[in-house]
């Protein structure tokens, strides 16, 4: 069977959705035996999707910095089907809570006023992505082909969507698999 | 009622001519989704989720569309489904509808609609405007960011509660739910009846205490009756692991039809009084925790050996307990509520439903807002729909605003004259009024019906069972106190009692005076029946297990009577 190459990455998220991918357990092996090749993912520790491209790209997390925008756009360019996974990538999710505050308030609260912080300061290193004025859902930045909401989505939901794609069917979640929390 | 024949999804249906398409569809078993509609509220057509397609392709809201002969509607046509998805996307984009940190996720009607129509992403980026929150109220929190502007709460507050506290300010997407035109909930005219929380489809209005304590489907729902006043409202207690998480009014109850007052909805959850947990005996001036066996034996010995025994009942106990109790103290019993026997002879008796249909209402020296919130609601509703309301009482009566005429108690004679000719009126009065007042009110017999406003859940039952006399002097006095803590008059009258048995829920001055304290269950832990002020027999079901060693009044009395 022809290989289906899959890459994934995370943006402003908690890695919970990738935990759910791993939570597919033996079904991961089943997918690999069915021809899925895990290319660049946080699990395989390759930093970005290969230049020659992949079939399926999966992104977890909201778009919150200019780095995230770059990662999202690169993934979009290098994959045929882009899946937003988890509430943050799909809707903006919990990270959009910060949209109700100004960036100054946000940084001060996060780096200086946190109860556990002593002598905190706001980092300014050029390595760190610049916060966008608002955290956004993935489809606010790039075109998204399929959505797997959930916080995190269940392993069942992810398996269902990937299996459907492999079989050439619609990956849209139905029934109990569609969850917002 | 004349019938109308029309078609839903090609199927011919006959329905009463005064129904809406939504109600007729429901009767025919066709499910049309709703959000702003509620079976107990006036249809509004605010959210548009219930749109159906008519023969000529128009989309109409089923909740407001009356059935007409020859009408043909489709409830899930492609056009309808597309419109509903569009409406849902607009609703989701308007405010903060992120479920993962919302209190009602799992119980939310908006969320369920999203699932039903497969909304797996937002078609429009959310508005992301920060709307105000209001956490000032003792029991209720208002989260405008979760509001879908369905106005269920506004309608419930006005049409069911009669309070008119909640309203909408501003326009368009900036519309805001607001108590008393932009007052904080705490300082508004809110009476804490909580019906707004009960009807809210999202997490915009929630109970503070039960917040984040689980989803409804994880809870057990138990129906019982509130005994905090003589109305006897039906309620549904939501419990989890033997804790009451929240209380709702029972929509099915013929007594209160869904609404409650602060006493019924919140007081059982916020009770901070200390419970009597074990039987306690006073020996040589010292209090000592004893076993039930010893406590029962002591009570039996005392009741057996005395020449004169008597019993007092605070009528928040069941009919069954009262019946046992009377046998135990040879019928020498009295009720711990101020009741004038003559006042109960006024005829005919009114029912609670009469308040809403009465021609005129006379409130005679009672203020139902103090302890009978649901009656207060009905009086407000009646007054709002044009019923004359006459008050005899102080100027600062809580319903003064709604009154058509107001008499001070000195002018009470004039009231009777003003009611001559007003057949179909109702008089709501304090059953403890003086004989002079009884004579006065008796002149209205034949014109009005009478509703004595009893203070406790089973006062009527206690009176019916003959607990309306005066207690003869007794050596041993047994008090079925339930939650009553005693007042100075009662304590003074017990001065010469040689042995005092108090069966109570809470520690109080009364238990302090007792020689034997027996821990009894509260009404939410009790099984049995009560009789409400209109004479309906209502069933209590235990909602949680008894606290510590408490037993129901009936159980304790049975144990004691075995030894007699």
Confidence of residue A134 (pLDDT cuts 50, 70, 90): very high
- Other beta carbons less than 10 A from residue B103's beta carbon: 19
Measure in Å the smallest separation between the Cα of A1 and chain B Cα atoms.
31
CB B220 within 8 A of CB B240: yes
What's the rounded mean pLDDT across residues A37-58?
A: 93
Q: Are B98 and A92 within 8 A, CB to CB?
A: yes
Closest residue, chain B, to A136 (C-alpha): B125
- Looking at residue B283, its pLDDT comes to 86
Strand order in the sheet with B516-519: B286-289, B280-283, B516-519, B499-504, B476-482, B309-313, B333-335
Segment A168-175 mean pLDDT? 94
Asked whether the beta carbons of A32 and A38 are under 8 A apart, the reply is: yes
* pLDDT classification of B255: cutoffs 50, 70, 90: very high
| SS3 at position B156 | helix
Question: Does residue B98 sit at the A interface (CB-CB below 8 Å)?
Answer: yes
Are B126 and A97 within 8 A, CB to CB? no
Residue contacts between A and B (CB atoms, under 8 Å): 64
E strand intervals along B366-434: 388-392, 405-407, 425-429
Please list every residue in chain A whose beta carbon sits closer than 8 Å to the beta carbon of residue B106: 181
- In chain B, the residue whose alpha carbon lies closest to the alpha carbon of A96 is B128
H or E segment to which residue B449 belongs: strand B448-452
pLDDT digits (tens, 9 = 90+) for A89-98: 999 999 999 9
In angstroms, the Cα distances linking A174 to A147, A164, B119, B267, B331 are 12, 12, 10, 43, 68
Residues sharing a CB contact under 8 Å with residue A83, sequence separation 6 or more, in sequence order: A56, A57, A58, A59, A144, A145, A146, A147, A148, A161, A171
Whether the predicted pLDDT of B169 surpasses 90? yes
Pairing mode of beta strands B388-392, B360-364: parallel
Q: Sort out which chain B residues have CB atoms less than 8 A from A102's CB and list them.
A: none
Whether B101 contacts chain A with CB within 8 A: yes
Residues 107-136 of B with CB under 8 A from A: 111, 114-115, 118, 120-122, 125-126, 128, 130
Burial B36-66 (b: 16+ CB within 10 A, else e): bbbebbebbbbbbbbbbbeeeeebbbbbbbe
| Mean pLDDT of all residues in B217-234 | 96
Q: With CA atoms as reference, report the closest residue to B353 among B163, B532, B155.
A: B532
pLDDT at B269 over 70: yes
Side-chain half-sphere of B267: how many Cα atoms within 13 Å?
A: 18
Q: Would you give the DSSP letter of residue A109?
A: I
> Is residue B545 within 8 Å of B220, Cβ to Cβ?
no
Closest CA to B175 of B217, B141, B145, B155: B145
Tell whether A151 is within 8 A of chain B (Cβ): yes
Please report residues of B whose CB lies closer than 8 A to that of A140: 125
The model's confidence at residue B557, banded by pLDDT at 50, 70 and 90, is: very high
The closest CB to that of A90, out of B105, B118, B120, belongs to B120
Contacts of B218 in chain A (CB under 8 A): none
Find residues 2-31 of chain A whose CB sits inside 8 Å of chain B. Answer: none
Cβ contacts of B120 on chain A, cutoff 8 Å: 90, 147-149, 172-173, 178
Whether residue B122 and residue A178 make contact (CB cut-off 8 A), yes or no, is no
Contact A178 B115 (CB under 8 A): yes
What letter does residue B445 receive in the DSSP assignment? B
Task: Give, as one character, the DSSP assignment of residue B353.
Answer: T
Among B residues 50-79, those touching chain A with beta carbons less than 8 Å apart: none
Residues B59-69, mean pLDDT to the nearest whole number: 97
pLDDT at A59 over 70: yes
Contact B130 A100 (CB under 8 A): yes
* Residue % of chain B over a pLDDT of 90: 91
Contact: B128, A174; criterion CB under 8 Å? no
- The phi and psi torsions of B212 (rounded to 5 degrees) equal 60, 25
By C-alpha distance, which of B435, B416, B417 is closest to B427?
Answer: B416
- Identify all chain B residues contacting A161, using CB atoms and an 8 Å cutoff: none
Is the pLDDT at B468 greater than 90? The verdict is no
**pLDDT score for B105:** 94
Q: Is A128 on the interface with B (CB under 8 A)?
A: no
* Helix A26-33 × helix A155-166 angle, to 10°: 10
- Which residues on chain A are in Cβ contact (under 8 Å) with B126? 91-92, 96
Rounding to the nearest 10 degrees, give the CA dihedral for residues B540, B541, B545, B549. 40
pLDDT at B202 over 80: yes
Which helix (H) or strand (E) segment holds residue B112: the answer is helix B109-116
- Residues B100, A181: C-beta atoms closer than 8 Å: yes
Contact criterion met (CB < 8 Å) for B121 and A144: yes
Provide the b/e sequence for B548-562 (b: ≥16 CB within 10 Å). eebbbbbbbbebbee
How far apart are alpha carbons B340 and B127 in whole angstroms?
63
A105 pLDDT above the threshold of 60: yes
Cα B542-B545-B548 angle, rounded to 5 deg: 135
Sheet containing A54-60: give its strands across.
A36-38, A4-10, A54-60, A79-85, A146-148
Token pair of A31 as six digits:
């997918």
Give residue B318's pLDDT band: very low, low, confident or very high (50, 70, 90).
very high
CA A159, CA B462: separation in Å to the nearest integer? Answer: 65
In whole angstroms, what is the distance from residue B155 CA to residue B545 CA?
36
Whether residue B163 contacts residue B377, with contact meaning beta carbons closer than 8 Å, is answered with: yes
Query: Quick one: average pLDDT of B69-74?
Result: 96
Whether the CB-CB separation of A93 and A86 falls below 8 Å is answered with yes
| The pLDDT value given to residue B563 | 86
Cα of B112 to nearest chain A Cα, Å: 10
Which residues of B369-433 form beta strands (DSSP E)? 388-392, 405-407, 425-429
* B50 cis-preceded (ω within 30 degrees of 0): no
User: Does residue A1 carry a pLDDT above 70?
Assistant: no
User: Dihedral of CA B355/B360/B363/B369: which sign?
Assistant: positive
How close is the nearest chain A Cα to the Cα of B549, in Å? 41
Mutate to test the interface with B, among A140, A160, A175, A180 (most CBs of B within 10 A): A180
Average pLDDT over every residue of B61-69: 97
Segment A2-26 shows an average pLDDT of: 95
Q: Do B98 and A147 touch (CB under 8 A)?
A: no
Buried/exposed B348-380: b ≥16 CB within 10 Å, e otherwise: eebbbebbeebebbbbbbbbbbebbbbbbbbbb
What lies within 8 Å, CB to CB, of A167 at 6+ separation is none
* Chain A residues lying within 8 Å of B101, measured CB to CB: 94, 97
Q: Which of A12-21, B124-133, B334-343 has the highest mean pLDDT?
A: A12-21
Any CB–CB contact under 8 A between A92 and chain B? yes
Lowest-pLDDT choice from A162-171, B228-237, B252-261, B404-413: B404-413
CB contact under 8 A, A87 and B99: yes
Closest by CA position to B209, among listed B238, B249, B179, B176: B238
CB contact under 8 Å between B98 and A100, yes or no, is no
Q: Does A137 lie at the interface with B, CB-CB under 8 angstroms?
A: yes
CA distance B28 to B423: 42
List beta partners, residue B501. B478, B516
* Rounded percentage of chain A residues whose pLDDT exceeds 70: 99
What mean pLDDT is reported for chain B? Answer: 95
């Amino acid at each position: 069977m022809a290989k289906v190459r899959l890459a994934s990455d995370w943006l402003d998220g908690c890695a919970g959705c990738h935990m759910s991918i791993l939570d597919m357990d033996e079904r991961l092996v089943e997918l690999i035996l069915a021809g899925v090749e895990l290319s660049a993912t946080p699990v395989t520790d390759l930093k970005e999707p290969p230049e020659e491209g992949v079939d399926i790209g999966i992104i977890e997390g909201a778009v919150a910095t200019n780095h995230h925008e770059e990662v999202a756009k690169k993934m979009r360019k290098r994959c045929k089907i882009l899946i937003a996974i988890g509430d943050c990538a799909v809707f903006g999710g919990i990270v959009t809570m910060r949209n109700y505050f100004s960036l100054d308030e946000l940084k001060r609260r996060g780096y200086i006023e946190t109860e556990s912080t002593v002598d905190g300061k706001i980092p300014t290193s050029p390595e760190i992505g610049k916060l966008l004025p608002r955290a956004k859902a993935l489809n606010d930045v790039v075109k998204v082909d399929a959505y797997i909401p959930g916080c995190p989505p269940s392993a069942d939901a992810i398996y269902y969507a990937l299996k459907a794609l492999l079989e050439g069917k619609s990956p849209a979640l139905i029934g109990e698999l569609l969850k917002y929390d | 009622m004349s019938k109308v024949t029309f078609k839903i999804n090609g199927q011919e249906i006959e329905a009463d001519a005064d129904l809406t398409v939504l109600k007729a569809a429901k009767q025919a078993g066709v499910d049309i989704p709703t959000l702003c509609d509620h079976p107990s509220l006036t249809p509004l057509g605010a959210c548009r989720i219930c749109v159906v397609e008519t023969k000529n392709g128009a989309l109409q809201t089923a909740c407001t569309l009356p059935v007409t002969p020859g009408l043909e509607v489709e409830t899930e046509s492609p056009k309808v489904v597309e419109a509903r998805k569009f409406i849902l996307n607009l609703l989701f984009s308007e405010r903060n509808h992120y479920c993962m940190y919302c209190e009602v996720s799992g119980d939310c009607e908006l969320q369920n609609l999203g699932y039903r129509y497969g909304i797996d992403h937002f078609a429009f980026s959310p508005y992301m405007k920060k709307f105000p929150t209001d956490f000032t109220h003792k029991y209720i929190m208002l989260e405008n960011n979760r509001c879908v502007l369905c106005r269920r709460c506004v309608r419930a507050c006005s049409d069911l509660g009669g309070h008119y506290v909640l309203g909408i300010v501003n326009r368009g997407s900036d519309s805001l739910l607001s108590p008393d035109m932009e007052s904080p909930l705490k300082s508004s005219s809110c009476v804490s009846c909580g019906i707004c929380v009960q009807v809210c489809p999202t997490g915009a209005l929630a109970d503070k205490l039960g917040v984040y304590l689980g989803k409804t489907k994880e809870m057990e729902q138990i129906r019982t009756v509130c005994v905090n006043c003589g109305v006897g409202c039906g309620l549904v207690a939501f419990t989890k692991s033997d804790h009451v998480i929240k209380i709702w009014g029972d929509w099915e109850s013929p007594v209160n039809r869904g609404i409650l007052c602060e006493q019924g909805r919140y007081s059982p959850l916020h009770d901070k009084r200390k419970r009597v947990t074990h039987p306690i005996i006073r020996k040589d001036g010292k209090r000592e925790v004893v076993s039930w066996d010893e406590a029962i034996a002591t009570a039996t010995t005392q009741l057996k050996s005395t020449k004169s025994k008597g019993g007092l009942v605070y009528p928040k106990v069941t009919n069954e307990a009262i019946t046992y109790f009377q046998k135990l103290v040879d019928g020498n019993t009295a009720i711990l509520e101020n009741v004038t026997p003559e006042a109960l002879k006024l005829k005919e008796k009114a029912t609670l439903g009469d308040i809403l249909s009465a021609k005129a209402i006379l409130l005679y020296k009672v203020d139902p807002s103090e302890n009978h919130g649901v009656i207060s609601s009905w009086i407000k509703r009646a007054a709002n729909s044009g019923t004359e309301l006459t008050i005899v009482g102080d100027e600062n009566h809580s319903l003064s605003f709604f009154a058509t005429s107001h008499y001070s108690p000195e002018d009470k004679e004039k009231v009777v004259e003003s009611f001559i000719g007003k057949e179909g009126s109702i008089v709501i009065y304090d059953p403890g009024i003086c004989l002079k007042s009884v004579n006065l009110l008796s002149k209205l017999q034949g014109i009005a019906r009478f509703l004595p406003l009893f203070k406790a859940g089973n006062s009527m039952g206690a009176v019916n069972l003959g607990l309306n006399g005066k207690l003869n002097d007794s050596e041993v006095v047994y008090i079925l106190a339930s939650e009553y803590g005693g007042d100075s008059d009662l304590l003074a009258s017990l001065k010469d009692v040689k042995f005092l048995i108090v069966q109570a829920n809470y520690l109080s001055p009364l238990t302090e005076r007792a020689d034997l304290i027996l821990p009894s269950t509260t009404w939410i832990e009790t099984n049995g029946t009560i009789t409400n002020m209109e004479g309906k027999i209502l069933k209590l079901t235990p909602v949680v297990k008894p606290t510590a060693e408490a037993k129901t009044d009936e159980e304790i009395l049975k144990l004691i009577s075995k030894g007699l």
